[in-house]
Amino acid sequence: MHCFVTVGSTKFEGLVESVLSNEVLSALQHLQFKELFIQCGSGEIPEGFKKVGKQGDGDAEQSWCDVRCGIEIHIFHYKRNISAEMRRADLIIGHAGAGTTLESLELGKPLVVVINEALADNHQLELAERLAHDRHLLFTVPKKLADTLEDINLFKLESFPKADPLVFANFLNGQLSLKFD
């Protein structure tokens, strides 16, 4: 199985450190994960990883590799097509940004969002709380990620409803009393 971790466009060292902890790697191994791909944004590549050159679908970005707890781990800063990594994943662990969260849910992937407690204005928490309340995802903080991966509901989350582009158009038509022939 394949797990994908994304920190978004900046850096979230707490998430990367948590994912690479023995506790989280052991939890992933227990869940039968064999591959872990980590997009670390502008963060540093952790020590112990070896540069393996160009990786992926024609991307020019470098990646680094290591094996820990029986899991092959690839880490990279950015890729042109991160959506391809998300589609390949059996589980996505990500920062709580709206773009990452909604794209993961639209793909129908089990999702754990990790709140960055270091942010001063933590608006991401509100989105994560609401979507967790509706059983679309699980959310946590870095230090509790291993426990969250052991939650029996991780692979029993509710599907996120498909977007209906007519809802907004119909609302506008109703508000503006537009009539079409």
Spatial separation of the C-alpha atoms in residues 51 and 73, rounded to whole Å: 12
Report how far apart, in Å, the C-alpha atoms of 44 and of each of 13, 77, 88, 152 are: 8, 8, 24, 33
Give the chain's domains with CATH numbers: 2-176 (3.40.50.2000)
Write down the pTM of the prediction.
0.85
- Give the tens place of pLDDT for each residue, 67-112: 999 999 999 999 888 899 999 999 999 998 888 999 999 999 999 9
- Give the tens place of pLDDT for each residue, 124-173: 888 899 999 999 999 999 999 999 999 988 888 888 877 777 877 778 77
**161/35: higher pLDDT:** 35
- Give the tens place of pLDDT for each residue, 7-20: 988 889 999 999 99
Q: 170: helix, coil or strand?
A: helix
Residue type, 129: E
